[in-house]
Amino acid sequence: VFQYMPFSTTDDLSSELLRLRLITSDQLSETEARFPITSDPKTLLKALEAQHLLTTYQASKLQLDEKSPLVLGEYKLMYQNASGSFARVFRACSLETDETIGLKVLRQRFLDDPKAVAHFHREAELCMKLRHKNIVPIYKVGTDDGFHYFTMEFIEGGNLRDFSKIRGKLNADELLRCACDMTEGLEYALAQGMTHRDFKLSNVLMSSRGVAKLVDFGLAGDDDDDDDENVHAVEYATLEKNTHAPANDPRSDLFFLGTVLYELASGKPPYPTSSNRD
């Protein structure tokens, strides 16, 4: 139900849709010919949704007077797939080729934080060199209208956290196959001189073909700035503090690989979730 519309007329909305390249002029003309479009812009939004020319996410954002972007660079955002404290991940589409990609966007509350912005770009730029069947590749890094983003392969499926909630414990064959995928991805990254430092169920994606792929090397190659707590994983910080392991020690990744395998095998985490770094 549309409660508010920032566009006063259908013409205003049409102009914005064409400016953003969310639809083409031909699609607009076809919609106006097929549906009873009035001067009320809500009728046009509903018609475009009915023809699947706009997604529910896009239509809901267009009706709100807010700054959430619908187009970044050469990509239009279709749906929000995941949301974390640091960034959001969208299913997006290339305006030029129609190719589906994943697009990660730094949250608005960090846009004025130079450390957070630098970390976001460092994550993308360091990981762009990683090309392995068990690591989600990053393609481009960009900034548009003050928003920071990077593009990556879109994985049809979900993360292991969601997968395990649905499936519970994995059988032996599934567990071994998943373990091999994750360890091969980690081995390759370590051979490139990179540690993950945020290895957990939600940072492993399971494709529709049953291939596990590592994502969000959020702390890879980190400069170990102890004051930059917004981007440090609590689990890694706690492990290193209590074992005196140095930052970026590959053994930390192996430890958390073990915790992930434990949870996949048993259906429950090896320790309770906590936000306490001690």
pTM over 0.75? The answer is yes
Give the pLDDT score at 1: 33
| DSSP-assigned beta bridge partners for residue 90 | 80, 103
For the record, the structure tokens of 17 come out as: 């849709």
Nearest to 215 by CA among 107, 128, 135, 96: 135
Give the pLDDT score at 8: 87
Give the pLDDT score at 244: 75
The pLDDT profile of the chain, 278 residues, written as one tens digit per residue, is 333 458 889 999 999 999 999 999 999 999 999 999 999 999 999 999 999 999 999 999 998 866 789 999 999 999 999 888 889 999 999 999 999 999 999 999 999 999 989 989 988 998 999 999 999 999 999 999 899 999 999 998 889 999 888 888 889 999 999 999 999 999 999 999 899 988 999 999 999 899 999 998 865 444 444 444 445 566 766 777 777 777 778 888 998 999 999 999 998 888 776 555 45
In DSSP notation, 121-170 reads HHHHHHHTT---TTBPPEEEEEEETTEEEEEE---SEEEHHHHHHHH-SP
Give the pLDDT score at 218: 64
Whole-Å CA distances, 23 to 19, 75, 196: 9, 13, 39
